[in-house]
A and B are shown apart, each in its own frame.
Chain A
Amino acid sequence: MSRRPTELPERLLAGDATDFERRLIDAALEKRPSAAASARIARALGVTVTGIGTAAAAKALAATRVTAEGSIPVVASTSGVWTWVSVGVLGLGVAGAVVSARGRHTSRLEPRAVLAVPPAASTPETELGPRTWRAVPATTERPPASVSSSRRPTRRPTDGDLRDQIALIDSARDALTVGSPHRSLEILHRYQEHYPSGSFRPEATATMIEALVKLGRATDARALAIRFVAEHPDSLLAARVAELVGLPTPGSVP
């Protein structure tokens, strides 16, 4: 049957694309802004980013953490893979701020009014599931007034550090996930060496304990875990760490 001149052929991906063509188009579809960029844009719009991906979202949220009042990056454990979720009020923290964010927008583009959004609720939304680990970075900085990318002429040095820290922690976790605890430990040692006062020390230590357990170094893991639980009794990580080495869960009735 002949095709009408205005009728389009089947899309390549759905049709007869070669493997190589498919690979190219797939790669094009995977291109996206960095998670941090997505988070910045979302925040400026007063919406919450979802579906960027777990670690990517974590990086984004953590990178913007310093700018979102009341926002805390959180780590959740699911089947051994740590999934980062947002507890912050990324949306709510800026809810009602679309207008104001727009007003403060200093992009090269001409500012305009945008839809009105009611003021932020005072209670933050949470996306915490069961067994959620909290990662509370050691530093807390006040957010800038706006998040327009062009309003970041001088990036704070800690942003790069934070990203690097998150990347290291992510790499360490990834190494654990693919069964390379040695590699994980190596990365974590590097983290501790570079960031002795790093924002994610608790996560680093918890990951290290898990790596040690996987390496069969139970005594080392237990010693580290005992110290960790003592230092961070209220941390959600403490429960996980205690469980890993068979310590009583912090806060549980003996």
Chain B
Amino acid sequence: MTASTNRAARSQVDRSRLEQIFNAHHAAVWRALRRRGLTPEAAEDATQETFLLAAERLEDIRPESERAFLLGTALRVAHTLGRKTVRWSLDEDMDQRSSEVRDTSERHADGELCDLVLSQIDPDLVETFVLYEIDGLTSPEIAGLLAIPLGSVASRLRRAREQFRSAAARLERNLKKEGEP
């Protein structure tokens, strides 16, 4: 086998792997970017950038760490773009907001409601909550990604979860008052 054939075969393998990780994780990457406050268009560009960076480092990415690598890269890309997580000021107007989001389609509305609840969590804690509860990362992965000790991951998650549950319960009560399912 010639060197060029080897290179071609290798490239094909790389492309297959890139395709596989793209299909497995691009939605999670996009979600992470949107949560960082990027517009859909910016999130699309940043998702592309994330996978381009991943493509450059495919050899270094262990299969079991693909998701953590991609989310970490996505967060760095978002950081590079200089965006901060968008947070709504909902303490006073949650009732109004919940009515508004219920006007859209059911599934979309649930997503909006989730954002509403997540926005009630302390900014320092919400990332840990999302990475664990939604993105499914492990404690060491989160610790590595956020550069915090394992103990901090656990304590942040505990506090974030309390806040999530409290905000969710409050929203549910509000929705019931409005007569929503």
Contacts and interface: CB of A to CB of B under 8 A. Distances in A.
Interface stretch (A3-11, A80-88, A187-195): A3-11
Instruction: Please tell me the size bucket of the interface on B.
Output: 35 or more
Given A27-B110, A28-B114, A32-B30, A46 B41 contact: no
Given A25-B134, A45-B18, A107 B117 contact: no
A50 B155 CA distance: 38
A8 B158 CA distance: 8
Chain B interface, DSSP helix/strand/loop, else mixed: helix
Given A8-B154, A32-B31, A115 B14 contact: yes
Contacts of A20: 168-169, 171-172
B77 interface: yes
A109 B43 CA distance: 12
Contacts of B46: 109
B133 interface: yes
A30 B110 CA distance: 10
B91 interface: no
A109 B83 CA distance: 13
A215 interface: no
A148 B168 contact: no
Contacts, number: 162
A13 B133 CA distance: 7
A61 B30 CA distance: 19
A63 to B, nearest CB: 13
Contacts of A9: 157-158, 161
B26 A109 contact: no
B56 A115 contact: yes
Interface stretch (A36-44, A129-137, A204-212): A36-44
Nearest to B139: A8
A21 B165 contact: yes
B98 to A, nearest CB: 12
A7 B132 CA distance: 12
Contacts of B23: 47, 49-51
B51 A113 contact: no
A109 B45 contact: yes
Nearest to A23: B110
Contacts of A47: 15, 18-19, 22-23
B145 to A, nearest CB: 14
Interface in B1-42: 7-8, 11-12, 14-15, 18-19, 22-23, 26-27, 30-31, 34, 40-42
Interface residues of A, number: 54
B41 A150 contact: yes
A40 to B, nearest CB: 7
A148 B46 CA distance: 10
B11 A102 contact: no
B133 A45 contact: no
19 contacts: A5-B151, A8-B139, A11-B132, A18-B165, A25-B114, A26-B110, A27-B110, A28-B114, A28-B118, A37-B30, A37-B44, A41-B47, A45-B51, A105-B48, A109-B45, A109-B49, A114-B55, A117-B15, A118-B8
Given A29-B134, A37-B44, 15 more contacts: A25-B134, A28-B118, A33-B26, A33-B27, A41-B44, A41-B51, A47-B22, A91-B15, A109-B80, A115-B14, A115-B18, A115-B58, A116-B7, A148-B48, A150-B45
Interface of B: 7-8, 11-12, 14-15, 18-19, 22-23, 26-27, 30-31, 34, 40-49, 51-53, 55-56, 58, 77, 80-81, 107, 110-111, 113-115, 117-118, 130, 132-134, 136, 139, 149-151, 153-155, 157-158, 161, 164-165, 168-169, 171-172
| 4 smallest beta-carbon distances between A and B, as pairs | A27-B110, A47-B19, A32-B27, A6-B150
